[in-house]
Structure 1
Amino acid sequence: MRDTIGPDLRDALIRTAHALADAARPETLRHFRTGLSAENKRLGGGFDPVTEADRAAERAMRAVLARERPEDGILGEEYGSTAGASGLTWVLDPIDGTRGYISGTPTWGVLVAVADAGGPLFGIIDQPYIGERFEGGFGRARLDGPQGRAALRTGGPRPLAEATVLTTFPEIGTEAERAAFRRVAEGARLVRYGMDCYAYALLAAGQVDLVIEAGLQPYDVGAPIAVVTAAGGLATGWDGAPAHGGGRMLAAANAAVHAEAMALLAG
C-alpha cells in the first residue's frame, strides 16, 4: 500500500491526522484536573482506568473519520476495530496514559497513526495541556508547541553509561522482563519513570536515549513508532523485529545505543 501513496493522498492523510488530534484536544481538556472519576477495565486484580474523557475523545475522532475517510479501517482503544476497504487503518489511543491523566500529570497524550499492513506510515503524539504536537512520517519530523515550530531529531551515539532511559512503570511486564529491564537500567546514567507516550516524544526531540516498555497494545505504539523513526531513531521489539503489533518496545535514539540495550535485554 505504501508504495502507491501519491502526494494528494499523502496530504489528505496528514490533514486528517491533524483533524483527529484537533477533535480530541477539547474533549481531553474538558475533564483534565476536574476530579473526573475513573472505571477499572481490568477484572481480577490490577488497575487499568478508563474515563469519559477517553471515550469522548475517541468518539470525536471516529466522527471525523466517518466524515472524511469512511473507507478506512479503525483500531481504537475504547471502541475496538472497524473494518475498512482501502488498505489503510487509523490507530487511535484517545488518552495514552490515563493513570497520569487522572493524577493530573501532563505526560499523557492523544495518539493518532495511519498504517497499512506493513505498519505505521504517519503519526502524531499530541499533548493538549502543554500544547505540543509531535508528528512524523511522509518526510516530516517536527514539533509545534508554545515555543514555535522545530525539527525533530534524535540524539547521536553515546554509550549506555552516558544515556538516559525512560519507561512508564518500574514494575515493567513479567518478572523476566523486569529483570531484563534492570540490566539496562543499571548500566545507564539516568532512569526516569511515569512518562507514557511523552517518553517517545522526548526521544524524538533528542532529549533522551532510550524508551523501554512491555505489555503494549497496537494502539499504544502506532504513533510513537512513526514519530521516532521519522526523527531518525529506531523503534522495534526487544529482539529487533517490527513492534507495531504491540508487546515489547525498544525505542532508541540511534543504532549504537539500540544494539547495546538489545544485547542486555536478551541477557
Structure 2
Amino acid sequence: MATTFETTEVEFDTETGVGYLTLDRPDALNALNSQLRSDILAGLKELEGKNSEADGIALRAVIMEGAGGNFCAGADINEFSDASAGDQSDRSHYETIRNFPAPVIAKISGYCLGGGLETALSCDFRIAHEEAQLGLPEVNLGIIPGAGGVQMISELTSPAVAKEIAMTGEHISGERAGELGIVREVYGNGFDEAVEEFAKTIASKPPLAIQAIKRSAAIASQTGIEEGIEYDRQQFKPLLSTEDHKKGARGFAEDDYEPEFKGR
C-alpha cells in the first residue's frame, strides 16, 4: 500500500524489505521546489519507520526514482527569486539521504540535472538508463552547484572530470556517465528489472552489517582512512555476536543451508 505526500509517493515491499520513494512532480520534470524537498524528507522518515518486523520484514534498501520518465531536472527556477527556497546550500535532504540507515539506490532515467544529480550523487548507488541525461548546468546561470556536486563527482572520478562537467554545463548520457564511473551500471533493455534485482541483492544481506559498512565508508570519506579503520575495529566484534553472523557462518559452511537474515 502506497503512502502519498503532495509531491512524493512511498511504497514498501514487506516480502523483500525494499522501499520505493518516487518524486512525483512529472509536469515539472520533478524539479526540486521547497515542497518536494520537504516531501523527500517525509518519505524517508516514513520508510525509516519500517524498522521492525511487525509487517513481515524490516527496511533493507530504498529505490529512489522520478515519475513520468525523468529522475529530477534540478532546482525549480521559479523559486530562485526566493533566496531561501532556491538556495542550493540548503542540504537537508541530501544529508538525510547520505546518513539514511539503509542503502539508497538512485534509478536514473530522463533528466538528472543540477540539484537532481546532486540528489542522485547523495545516494549510495546510481543505476542509469543509457539515454538518461546527467549534468550540472548551474554555470549557465552564473552560479555553481551548491550542494556538493563538484565534490562528489571529484570523489567518484577525478577533479578533472568534475571540472569539465561543471564548467561546461553540458549534459552527458547515462552511457557516458557509466564510462566515467559516476553511475554503477547502465542499461537499455532490462533497466527496470536490473534495478530491482540489485536492490533485492542488497536487501538479502545482513542489515546490521550493511548499515555498518555504509557508516564505515562515510567516515573514511569524511574524516580519513585511519578513523574509518578504527570504526571498523569497533564494529567487528559486536557483529560477531549477532544471530545474522551465526546464520551467515552456517551458510558458508553448509551448502544446503540458505540463511534468512533478520537484523539481529
Same fold (TM over 0.5): no
Select the structure that is richer in helix: 2
TM-score (norm 1): 0.28
Structure of larger gyration radius: 2
Select the structure that is richer in strand: 1
